[in-house]
Amino acid sequence: MPGEQNTDAAIMEESENAPKVDTWAVAWKWAPWVILSITAILYFKAFSNGFTNFDDDFYILKNPYLKDFSLKGVQAIFTSFYAGNYHPLTTLSYLIEYKFYGEQPMVYHVVNVLLHLLNTFIAYKLAFKLSGRNVTAIVVALLFGIHPMHVESVAWVSERKDVLYGAFYLLAALVYTQAIETKLDMKAYAAVMALFIASLLSKPAAVTLPVLLLAIDWYKGRIIDKKAIVEKVPFFILAIVFGIINIMAQREGGAITELTFGFINRVFLIASAPVFYIVRAIAPFHLSALHSYPDVHDGFLPFIYYLPLPFLLVVGLCIWKWGGASKKEMVFGFTFFFITVSVMLQVISVGVALTSERYTYIPYIGLFFIVGQLIAVTINGKQGRIAGGLLLLFTCLFCLQTWVRIDVWKDSDSILTDVIENNADIADCSYYYWLRGNVRTNAGNLAGGIQDFTNAINQRPDYAEAYGNRAAAYSQRGDVKAAIFDFSKAITLNPADPRPFYNRAAMKATSGDLTGAFEDYSAFLVRVPRNSRAYVDRGMVRFTLKDSVGACEDWKKAAGLGDETAMPMLQQYCK
């Protein structure tokens, strides 16, 4: 018809003139939210996990500092050591949760996961600010969020200190990196300092931040002159002060151990730790909540522990000589890694583990940064497509392994089973068999508990507590003869411990050996003279032995110590 336009042609013309949609820009915009969603879906599983007897009992269930929600209580948290640690902000976070939710483990797990999601986002922002590349930021955030080596820091309630200190630490690095792009004014400087102090109060591992800030100066092309050094002096002073405080706390808590490997062996052991972490960043196999020190034979470590030091030297030389265009990225990434992991390398021996997966929580950002930068520079070529495919494969594998590892932290039985299965061939696991035996016995699994105590005894024939606990399990099962035998063995191994005397006395009374029961109660009271319950029980034995005078004496002592059950017997039999 006259005057009618060709509609299809008009639409095509309008479409051609319309602004183009930048598909990559849209992808970059949504990528961090996709990563956070994947991470959240993975760790949603942790919400059903409970507390474990891997420190959760000390930090939450038995922690006296969580019972006083008052100004005085908060002051006590900030002025005291507890369980060999000084991390008052971490304890304060527990205090708030305990006040409003008590011993509901889900709340503690939710907070840990939320902090991990926050840290994943900050890691994304920091990587982008350092590199200026979306690809690098996405790779760092993705690997940080889903890596199975990070499960220990997130799914374990007691590692709140990792995710909390990590948030303040990464924020401090981010604020500093943003500030030096223009000018580090007093407002930004004060913000970095405040975040640093908060991080130190959450976990002493934050002491490495001043050195990391110098590394960021170098990477971003800032001149490291007298001014740059002087501005870090207050940070170094705080780091030294908190380092000393932490050593004092660990000494008081008995966490510092004296190991007799010899100086040379210790050098090789220290060098083996970062290689352990680097290898497991790529291939996270044989994961465990405990990675024990190796056994020493004739003064020598297993041969494999002598390889990491030369390996590190060779890798460092290769990067320095043939790093090419990527040299600066690799130097910075490894520097980030070694700076942040340095305080976890057991230069001062703490605990019984040579390495721990939680120690990689912040350091891995340096390694992920290298991977991100290498992918970023090749993304548009054939190598980039190969790298992208490998990243997708590793993402799937890491997600699957993280999903499985979260179950390991479900309860005490599962975590102890994991420790035993991964360390039984290379270390003395008697303590962990003993712990799991207690868990299983308390849950009513007497057969499983007895087997665990037996395994502990097989590994440590002088393990008095394992004999005592196996005896208690036998007594619950009604096997009086076996219980008496194990209590006797516990007494022989540790006659200073009063508990087996009391428990054997009860077993002997049950079996009809009243004279033996009287002797054991008497031996117990020599060691614990103000135990009213033992006086009541010994009085019952004496009364049955027709020693009514002695029985009344025992019941009078029990009543004098406040035992109300003694009064009816005094009134009925001791008039």
Residues 475 and 482: their CA atoms lie apart, in Å, by: 8
Output the pLDDT for position 426. Answer: 66
Structure tokens at 246: 């932490």
pLDDT at 227: 87
Q: What is the pLDDT of residues 144-155, one digit of tens each?
A: 999 999 999 999
What the block records as the tokens of 67 is 């019972």
At residue 22 the predicted structure's pLDDT band, cuts being 50, 70 and 90, is very low
Compute the average pLDDT of residues 322-330: 77
pLDDT score, position 20: 46
- Cα 99 to chain centroid distance, Å, stands at 23
Res 287: pLDDT: 93
Three-state SS for 356?
Answer: coil
Three-class SS state of 245: helix
Which string of DSSP letters, residue by residue, matches 438-503? HHHHHTT-HHHHHHHHHHHHHH-TT-HHHHHHHHHHHHHHT-HHHHHHHHHHHHHH-TT-SHHHHH
Is the pLDDT assigned to residue 501 strictly greater than 80?
Answer: yes
Are 420 and 54 a contacting pair, CB within 8 Å? no
Write down the residue that tokens 């990243």 correspond to.
Answer: 391
pLDDT band for 21, please (50, 70, 90 cuts): very low
In whole angstroms, what is the distance from residue 287 CA to residue 295 CA? 19
Whose tokens are 């705080």? That residue is 238
Query: What are the Cα distances from residue 343, in Å, to 174, 259, 348, 391?
Result: 21, 18, 9, 30
pLDDT of residue 353: 76
Q: Which of 299-308, 365-374, 375-384 has the highest mean pLDDT?
A: 365-374
CA atoms lying within 13 Å on the CB side of residue 432: 24
Q: Shortest CA distance to 299 belongs to which of 260, 350, 345?
A: 260
Q: Is the pLDDT of residue 12 over 50?
A: no
Mean model confidence pLDDT for the chain: 89
What is the rounded CA–CA span in Å between residue 381 and residue 513?
86
**What pLDDT was estimated at residue 29?**
80
Average pLDDT value for residue range 218-236: 91
Distance of CA 221 to the CA centre of its chain: 36
What is the average pLDDT across 280-285?
Answer: 94
**Which tens digits make up the pLDDT trace of 469-497?**
999 999 999 999 999 999 999 999 999 99
Whether residue 345 contacts residue 270, with contact meaning beta carbons closer than 8 Å, is answered with: yes
Cα distance between residue 417 and residue 426, in whole Å: 15
Domains of the chain: 23-408 (no CATH), 428-497 (1.25.40.10), 498-575 (1.25.40.10)
Instruction: Place 33 in a pLDDT band, splitting at 50, 70 and 90.
Output: very high
What lies within 8 Å, CB to CB, of 82 at 6+ separation is 63, 65, 91, 253
* Residue 481: burial class (beta carbons within 10 Å; 0-12, 13-18, 19+): exposed
Q: Read off the tokens for 387.
A: 């790298």
Instruction: Kindly report the backbone phi and psi dihedral angles of residue 254, in degrees, each rounded to the nearest multiple of 5, phi listed first.
Output: 70, 20
Structure token digits, residue 373: 């930068």
Locate 263 and state its tokens.
């100086």
- Give the span between the Cα atoms of 439 and 411, in whole angstroms: 10
Percent above pLDDT 70 for the chain = 91
Contacts of residue 418, Cβ cutoff 8 Å, sequence gap at least 6: 288, 289, 408
Element (H, E) at 291: strand 291-292
CA neighbours closer than 13 Å in the CB half-sphere of residue 223: 4
- Rounded to an integer, the average pLDDT of 118-136 is 96
| pLDDT score, position 251 | 79
C-alpha to C-alpha distances, 62 to 24, 82, 131, 192, 353, nearest whole angstrom: 52, 11, 46, 35, 24
pTM for this entry: 0.88
Whether 350 and 142 have beta carbons less than 8 Å apart is answered as no
How far is residue 502's CA from residue 412's CA, in Å, rounded to a whole number?
A: 28
Token pair of 19 as six digits: 């602004």
- 131/515 Cα distance (integer angstroms): 81
Q: Which of 4-13, 25-34, 532-541 has the highest mean pLDDT?
A: 532-541
CA 544 to chain centre: 54
| DSSP-assigned states of every residue in 184-201 | --HHHHHHHHHHHHHHHT
Q: Please give the Cα distance from 320 to 335 (Å, whole number).
A: 13
Among 547, 552, 544, 457, CA closest to 508: 544
